[in-house]
A and B are shown apart, each in its own frame.
Chain A
Amino acid sequence: GENVEQHPSTLSVQEGDSAVIKCTYSDSASNYFPWYKQELGKRPQLIIDIRSNVGEKKDQRIAVTLNKTAKHFSLHITETQPEDSAVYFCAASRGGSYIPTFGRGTSLIVHP
């Protein structure tokens, strides 16, 4: 089955800095890579996703990149703000037919 590794487990940055979270996956058939944000005491919610036919996707201050050859994808957050503080999960799946496998999560702390 699929195995997703996520690093780092904790990331501490100053407000305004950039943050990068990296994930690797093992199943070359995976073609859908979502990222979820979980604020303290809340449910995980999708913030951005990327499909295997795309190398990069941006949405305001967040972006995701995908390298299919190396089987890794990353989340980039620019100009971080305190409200970006949360746990972020990456996931990989064969979209449309399978249930995703999640990484272990990254706790992002943005210091004012």
Chain B
Amino acid sequence: EAQVTQNPRYLITVTGKKLTVTCSQNMNHEYMSWYRQDPGLGLRQIYYSMNVEVTDKGDVPEGYKVSRKEKRNFPLILESPSPNQTSLYFCASSVREWSTDTQYFGPGTRLTVL
């Protein structure tokens, strides 16, 4: 089954404790990205990757890191989480086709930073 998976689905942590949210897709998509969703602000892009070892900042990259060592995986790293990073996070992947950027979203990770 074609899918994007994220782990963990729920996480409560404390300020300053490094964490990683994993994302994996089995559709051989070139593009992967991370979004955060906050009430009234919609989906804001954190980082994206066009291929292995190619990553770039989105609209709200501060406080986050990513890596793309394999095509299928795109982990999101919070080196020193803060309460303003409490949010719902979605990983997404898409295929590079003519005039299409359909995003396939993972199930989401709800993060709370105390």
Contact = CB atoms under 8 A, between A and B. Distances in A.
Interface of A: 6, 9, 31-32, 34, 36, 43-46, 49, 51-52, 89, 91, 93, 95-105
Interface residues of B, number: 25
A6 B90 CA distance: 20
Contact of A96 (B33, B35, B100): B100
B58 A34 contact: no
Contact of B31 (A49, A99, A103): A99
CB-based closest 3 A-B pairs: A104-B42, A95-B99, A43-B105
Nearest to B44: A102
A101 B97 CA distance: 17
Given A43-B105, A43-B107, A99-B31, A104 B41 contact: yes
Contacts of A93: 101
B101 A95 contact: yes
Interface of B: 31, 33, 35, 40-45, 48, 58, 90, 94, 96-103, 105-108
B102 A34 contact: yes
Contacts, number: 65
Contacts of B45: 99, 101-102
29 contacts: A6-B42, A9-B40, A32-B100, A32-B101, A34-B101, A36-B103, A43-B108, A44-B103, A46-B102, A49-B100, A49-B102, A51-B99, A51-B100, A52-B99, A91-B103, A93-B101, A95-B98, A95-B101, A96-B97, A96-B101, A97-B96, A99-B33, A99-B58, A99-B94, A99-B101, A102-B35, A102-B43, A103-B42, A104-B42
